[in-house]
Structure 1
Amino acid sequence: MSDQVMQSAMYRRFRRGYLFLRYIVFAGSIICLGSQRKHLLKWIRSVTPGYLLRAPSPWLTFDAISYLEDQPLAGKKIFEYGSGGSTLYWLSRNAECVSIEHDRRWYETLRPLLTRGTVDCRLVMPRPLPGDALLSEPDDPASCLSSDERYHGYSFEEYVSQIDEFPPEHFDLVLIDGRARASCIRRAVSKVRPGGMLVVDNSERPDYFRRTGEDLKGFQKHSFPGASPSTFIWTRTDVFVKDV
């Protein structure tokens, strides 16, 4: 056996051991945290490959998913930034969905699965920015920038503005789980109908709300911290319900 083959085999064993340790540690933390214990079996199933597309399930915290399960979604109009398990979930609930995705490879993986229901799935990729635009910050809702280093120097203006073609108070639910989230929040608030929901995932990140607090003043916030499918981290999903 060559040194290269041996090193590759050792790396694979190390990686399997590392992933198993992460699995055990996080499962133990779910058990120890009483409020999340009820989600343990769902979480165990979710870490298998392709779960979010097979289930299907939104990539939100389990408590936020439970909240959505209690909402009547049949026939509702939904707009989402970020496609995937959530797209299939809305269709399984007989809702209409407009879904915006920035990643071509993921879009091409998902597209053949959208064989039922009413869905408008759009691939809208970021565009390179002129140099002077790099002075803006991702937490500025006017910037349409992503904080992800992979998209440094790219604008998500076209991606964010997809919702502009719809009239005010058109959607029953808007999910923000994609790129340039502060910008998406600002564009989306006027498109949510009274009594409708604006759902923001990974909402423990303060940069999403540092400059959008005023935009959300007409909403009541429901926070759902905890575990989420297919991940080994604690996160939070906020559901903002628009005042009637």
Structure 2
Amino acid sequence: MNPTLKEIIKKTFPTGSRNLRAYNYLIRDKNSYLHTSGWMDSLHDWAPQDVVGDPVPWMNYPIIKFLKDRLKTDIHLFEYGSGFSTSFYAKLVHSVTSVEYDEAWFKVVEGQLPNNAKLIYRKQDIDGEYCRAISLSNQKYDVIIVDGFDRVNCVKQSVPYLSERGVILLDDSQREEYEEAYAFLKQKGLRFIEFEGLKATGNLLDRSTIFYRDRNCFDI
């Protein structure tokens, strides 16, 4: 295209020109982040997955990369909120225990559980049995994922069940209603590190926060 004609189009249709560049750079280009992260395939199937089609948690891609690198086969993990993430964690750690409040989804996930994963059903409630499901096995966990319902109370119930090297991961931590969880864990002496980015099928900046102490299993 003639350079002069390009300038005329840019001046006449400034937004359209920008949108076309964004389309070319992010959607048409198979080497763009949207493709290499698995975002495009996730959007197509409406299910979180990586670039080779393996299931991933419905979290932002930077935290997924971190978890892939840091989760180890000697880790015992508890998860509030089951699903695609359950299979993802089970491939990387020693054991996964997950609690789910949606009965229909519970039945779906239960039928796909790997051998090292256990699923608990608890009805949806506030400061009740759901957030206290972590106490049922009477064990300590190295990683506790809070990605389900009643998250502030889940965080509060998690602390007594952290192993000496345990960490807590709170997803969607940018939400104002989770500020109480930050304050509670800071009072307990935990520090935090945040990861931000796109999550599968999402279009907004999403945050996940890891709360940790010294000599933790993630080496942070």
User: In which range does the TM-score fall when normalised by the shorter chain?
Assistant: 0.7 to 0.9
Aligned to 1:80: 79
Aligned to 1:44: 40
1:224 corresponds in structure 2 to: 195
- Number of aligned positions between the proteins: 185
1:180-233 per-position Cα deviation (integer Å, ceiling 9, x unaligned): 001001001221223322010000012112265133342221101110112232
Rate the CA distance shift 1:211–1:67 in 2: closer, same or farther, 3 A: closer
Output the CA distance in 2 between the equivalents of 1:211 and 1:188: 11
Question: How far does residue 47 in structure 1 lie from its aligned partner after superposition?
Answer: 1.2
Conserved 8 A contact 1:52-1:84? no
CA distance in 2, matches of 1:103, 1:167: 24
Please say if 1:233 is aligned against 2:204: yes
Q: Compare 232-241 and 51-60 and name the one that shifted more.
A: 51-60
CA offset at residue 50 of structure 1? 5.4
User: Residue type matched to 1:196 in 2?
Assistant: G
SS of structure 2 residue aligned to 1:107: helix
1:161 aligns with 2:160: no
Letter in 2 for 1:221: F
RMSD: 2.5
TM superposition score normalised by structure 2: 0.74
Q: Which aligned pairs between 1:125-144 and structure 2 lie closer than 5 A?
A: 125-126=123-124, 144=127
- Going by fraction, where is helix more abundant, 1 or 2? 1
Structure 1 residue 209 corresponds to structure 2 residue 165: no
Partner residue of 1:186? 156
TM-score (norm 1): 0.67
Corresponding letter in the other structure for 1:219: L
In structure 2, list runs of 5 or more residues that go unmatched: 1-18, 27-31, 216-220
Q: How does 1:170-181 map to 2 (within 5 A)?
A: 170-181=140-151
Greater Rg over alpha carbons, structure: 2
| Amino acid in structure 2 at the alignment position of 1:71 | R
| Partner Cα distance (1:214, 1:99) in 2 | 23
The alpha carbon displacement at 1:73 in A equals 2.0
Further displaced range: 64-73 or 76-85: 64-73
Distance in 2 separating the partners of 1:195 and 1:45: 36
Query: Contact 2:198–2:205 at 8 Å: present in 1 too?
Result: yes
Q: Secondary structure at the match of 1:66?
A: helix
- State the identity %: 23
Which residue identity does 2:43 align to in structure 1?
A: V
Which residue, 112, 116, 119 being the options, matches 2:117? 119
Structure 1: which 5+ runs fail to align?
A: 1-23, 32-36, 128-142, 145-156
Letter in 2 for 1:91: A
3-state SS in 1 of match to 2:99: strand
SS of residue paired to 1:47: helix
